[in-house]
Amino acid sequence: MTTEVTPPRIRLHIRRKPNNPNHHLWNNNGRWWMYFTISRPDGASERKRVSLKTADLDKARGRRDRIIADLQNKAHVFV
């Protein structure tokens, strides 16, 4: 008999504002970073900050969008 282990479910907080194409982005000394919050089932929340390793805003937006899509596609993450 095979037993599957289901990873704990976490909530990814992504709030997109159509009038703000730079949501979840900030520029820190010429480099773009993204930030988001994850809430865990036990009530703890964790702020994540990820360097997008670029000074180019268009590249930063694309990398941010790919990271968000990747997180949303993981089975144990829901929005």
pLDDT > 90: what percent of the chain? 42
Domain count, the chain: 1
Domain of 43, in residue numbers: 10-78
Q: What angle do CA 40, 70, 72 make, to 5 degrees?
A: 50
Q: Tell me the whole-structure pTM to 2 decimals.
A: 0.74
pLDDT digits (tens, 9 = 90+) for 18-33: 789 999 999 999 999 9
Residue 2, domain member (yes or no): no
Residue 60, domain member (yes or no): yes
Among the listed residues 36, 34, 33, the one whose alpha carbon sits nearest the alpha carbon of residue 15: 36
> In angstroms, rounded to a whole number, what is the distance separating the alpha carbons of residues 31 and 5?
39
Q: Residue 62 is encoded by which pair of tokens?
A: 């694309």
State the pLDDT at residue 69.
86
Residue 5, domain member (yes or no): no
Residue 51's DSSP bridge partners are 33
